[in-house]
Amino acid sequence: MTEEIAGYEDIFSLAGIKKFAFNLRGTNCTLKEAWAVAYALWKQSNLDEKLGEDAGKCQHELDEYIREIWENTEGISVAERIEEFITVTQGYFSVTECDKECNIVTERDKNNRRQVLHRMVKKGYLEKHLDKNGLFRKRVSEATAIEWVNADITNVYRMKFPFELEKYVKLYPKNIVVFAGDGNVGKTAAMLDIVRLNMNQFTVHYFNSEMGAEELKVRLSLFEDVAENEWLFDPRERSFNFAEVIYPDDLNIIDYLEVSEGEFFKIAHEIKGIHDKLRKGVAVIAIQKKEGQRLGRGGDLSKEKARLYVTMGNNVLTINKGKNWAMKGVNPNNMEFPYKLVNGAKFYHEGG
């Protein structure tokens, strides 16, 4: 930037800043960046003091001038601006954000933007959000290499579960665990118990879609062996798009993943999004199960990514799927743990 400024002898004046801003228009500089540069120069030039009472008026004039030249984008097509915006944007973006960053103001440009985005989706360069209209993201086409030769097979994710399920199923970083339960069988109690069992070993984030602060405080008070100031976890309210908010390297507990009636097929998509976001961490996901059904909402699709899939119903916890056996020769699949939930917090293994 110093070399670019050097060619403008009157750069530290209003006219000089306007001239410099005009020439930035021919670069890859965005409107936001142009404003930032202009006001850095304004401050460096001490124009507030030099212009005195006229400073506010001149500042407004500079604002309008920069906006005007950026909106007059002859020679820089809508498609080019959108392509540049998408290149530097991570995750989903809205149409509003696209218009703002690409200086799309006129109806003609907005019509062009609609056509550009439609073509990009059709060609597979962009993909639409599954649930929300007007949200897009760049489609990731590259595949990450798996460095299996130097992998440490002893790098087990040593988290704990009710009924000591970790004795039967091993987990590794980036694994998914699903608890599918009937209504009122203790899913939330199980999720909070997992918090209790692991909060001193891992950084735990707990996402809840139903409880407010008061109800959560009541539920935590039911754990008689944990004082209020001993709870070490990060509770959050969330009911959708968990892949956007989970912490890739930590323990994430989602209580619970809900979808609308008739759209249970979306559960597999949600779980896949969570799995793809994980790096060194693990996600434990609670989902609803209709009473009498073998699996939770989404059926077989809900357990595709899970390395441990547990069902809860009729006071029995069942390991429906345990991918990695913890003990040689001991198959954990279809193991049952009859239980009694006492005081909404304490699980007792009946007969165990």
Q: What pLDDT is attached to residue 74?
A: 47
Looking at the structure, do residues 64 and 82 belong to the same domain, yes or no?
no
Check if the beta carbon of residue 104 is closer than 8 Å to that of residue 113. Answer: yes
**Confidence at 7, pLDDT banded by 50, 70, 90:** very low
**Confidence at 3, pLDDT banded by 50, 70, 90:** very low
Looking at the structure, do residues 34 and 126 belong to the same domain, yes or no?
no
- Rounded distance between C-alpha atoms, residue 101 and residue 99, angstroms: 6
Domain end residue (candidates: 71, 90, 111) = 71
Mean pLDDT of the chain: 85
Domain end residue (candidates: 21, 52, 71) = 71
Q: What pLDDT is attached to residue 31?
A: 65
Domain count, the chain: 3
**Confidence at 21, pLDDT banded by 50, 70, 90:** low
Of residues 273 and 18, more confidence is placed in 273
Looking at the structure, do residues 91 and 195 belong to the same domain, yes or no?
no
Q: What pLDDT is attached to residue 258?
A: 84
Domain end residue (candidates: 38, 71, 104) = 71
pTM above 0.75, yes or no: no
Looking at the structure, do residues 98 and 166 belong to the same domain, yes or no?
no
Q: What average pLDDT score do residues 239-245 get?
A: 88
Is the pLDDT at 1 greater than 70, yes or no? no
Is there a domain that residue 150 lies in?
A: no
**Confidence at 213, pLDDT banded by 50, 70, 90:** very high
- The CATH number of the domain where 106 resides is what? 1.10.10
Q: What pLDDT is attached to residue 292?
A: 86
Q: What pLDDT is attached to residue 46?
A: 78
Looking at the structure, do residues 244 and 306 belong to the same domain, yes or no?
yes
Q: What average pLDDT score do residues 33-43 get?
A: 74
**Confidence at 40, pLDDT banded by 50, 70, 90:** confident
Instruction: Out of 73-82, 94-103, 262-271, pick the least confident.
Output: 73-82
Looking at the structure, do residues 40 and 94 belong to the same domain, yes or no?
no
Check if the beta carbon of residue 252 is closer than 8 Å to that of residue 203. Answer: no
Looking at the structure, do residues 244 and 107 belong to the same domain, yes or no?
no
Read off the tokens for 155: 């790098």
**Confidence at 262, pLDDT banded by 50, 70, 90:** low
Q: Where are the alpha helices (DSSP H) in the chain?
A: 2-6, 14-24, 31-44, 47-51, 55-71, 78-87, 95-101, 107-122, 187-198, 213-221, 266-277
Is there a domain that residue 148 lies in?
A: no
Closest to 283 in 3D by CA, of 248, 321, 312, 325: 248
Is the pLDDT at 43 greater than 80, yes or no? no
Closest to 255 in 3D by CA, of 339, 189, 308: 189
Looking at the structure, do residues 230 and 295 belong to the same domain, yes or no?
yes
**Confidence at 5, pLDDT banded by 50, 70, 90:** very low
Is there a domain that residue 157 lies in?
A: no
Is there a domain that residue 144 lies in?
A: no
Looking at the structure, do residues 263 and 179 belong to the same domain, yes or no?
yes
Closest to 137 in 3D by CA, of 297, 322, 273, 307: 273
Is there a domain that residue 146 lies in?
A: no
Looking at the structure, do residues 25 and 57 belong to the same domain, yes or no?
yes
- Rounded distance between C-alpha atoms, residue 78 and residue 102, angstroms: 8
Looking at the structure, do residues 198 and 118 belong to the same domain, yes or no?
no
**In this prediction, what percent of the chain has a pLDDT beyond 70?**
86
Is the pLDDT at 124 greater than 80, yes or no? yes
Is there a domain that residue 109 lies in?
A: yes
CA–CA distance from 139 to each of 92, 120, 155, 249, 285 (Å)? 10, 10, 31, 23, 25
Is the pLDDT at 331 greater than 80, yes or no? yes
Taking only the tens place, the pLDDT of each residue in 168-204 is: 999 999 999 999 999 889 999 999 999 999 999 999 9
Of residues 319 and 29, more confidence is placed in 319
**Confidence at 319, pLDDT banded by 50, 70, 90:** very high
Looking at the structure, do residues 177 and 312 belong to the same domain, yes or no?
yes
- The CATH number of the domain where 193 resides is what? 3.40.50.300
**Residues 89-110 as b or e (16 or more Cβ within 10 Å = b):** eeebbebeebbebbbbeeeebe
Q: Which domain holds residue 189?
A: 162-349
Instruction: Out of 6-10, 176-180, 275-279, 308-312, pick the least confident.
Output: 6-10
Is there a domain that residue 214 lies in?
A: yes
Is there a domain that residue 48 lies in?
A: yes
